[in-house]
Amino acid sequence: MRVNKYLAECGVASRRSCDKLIAEGRVKVNGRIASLGEDIRDGDEVTVDGSAVSRRLSHSYYLMNKPKGYVCTVKDDKDRKTVMQLLPAGVGRLFPVGRLDYDTEGMLIFTDDGDLAFRLTHPKNEIEKTYLAKIEGSISDVELNRLRAGVELDGRLTTKSRVRVISADKRFTKLHVTIREGRNRQVRRMFEAVGKHVVFLKRIKIGDMGIGSLERGAVRKLTDEEIFYLTNL
């Protein structure tokens, strides 16, 4: 088993984050600094920052309705509030699956299951995420079709998206936006590409699993049915 997968199964972090730990020289195997792509064998002692880790027999899964004003990291070098501060005491060592930017609200999953985190965040799996967006002013059919077909961000087109207006008045328009990527601030930047400013953004669904009535800032355990759904997406 590759060392990054082993660390993920130990609940250290997602595979991508584990790769970073390895690259930084913070992971050792039998007292020797681990290398990317290294295999772990039965009986090997693996440590992260000097602390031994071992595979877990079971995992924990939680859902948060993230409020704005929090960053989705375990620690923040700018001393901003992190979503970890909203988790209840006693949940163990969890990490957020994917990210929502500082000003975005909504669904955020926490777990110590690195394989699930990998499944939900790896671009090749194209897991759908649906957002409620509120923009200033109106939006034309031409602009909507541009968003649906793909707009250029960082020199390449976004994949096709589902975009639907759900309400509009003289000042604002509300839309549902479903994407299958996870680029940095993607939904906000997509609207910027067609000249629109997002004033509110909330992730409301991952796949077909919705946030329901969970209050802003609240956290709850996932049900067995939800865990089964996510692990089989």
Ordered domains of the chain (ranges, CATH)? 3-52 (3.10.290.10), 61-123+209-231 (3.30.70.580), 128-206 (3.30.70.1560)
Active site residues: 101
Residue 157: per-residue pLDDT: 97
Question: For residue 180, what pLDDT band results from cuts at 50, 70 and 90?
Answer: very high
Q: Is the pLDDT of residue 163 over 90?
A: yes
| Mean pLDDT value of segment 136-160 | 97
| Mean pLDDT value of segment 214-219 | 97
Other residues' Cβ atoms within 10 Å of the Cβ of residue 212? 10
**Span of 53-62, 112-121, 213-222 with lowest mean pLDDT:** 53-62
Query: What average pLDDT does the structure give for the chain?
Result: 93
Residue 56: per-residue pLDDT: 61
Residue 57: per-residue pLDDT: 63
For residues 142 and 146, what is the distance between their CA atoms, to the nearest angstrom?
6
| Mean pLDDT value of segment 149-156 | 96
Q: CB under 8 Å, gap of 24 or more: what pairs does 219-227 form?
A: 219/62, 219/63, 219/64, 219/65, 219/86, 219/87, 219/88, 219/110, 220/62, 220/63, 221/60, 221/61, 221/62, 221/63, 222/61, 222/62, 222/63, 222/109, 226/61, 226/63, 227/61
Residue 109 CB burial class (10 angstroms; 0-12, 13-18, ≥19): buried
| Mean pLDDT value of segment 136-147 | 98
Residue 77: per-residue pLDDT: 86
Residue 9: per-residue pLDDT: 77
How distant, in Å, are the alpha carbons of 26, 116, 129 from that of 126? 31, 14, 9
Residue 130: per-residue pLDDT: 98
- 133 closest CA partner among 73, 217, 44, 199: 199
H/E stretch holding 198 reads strand 198-206
For residues 55 and 112, what is the distance between their CA atoms, to the nearest angstrom?
10
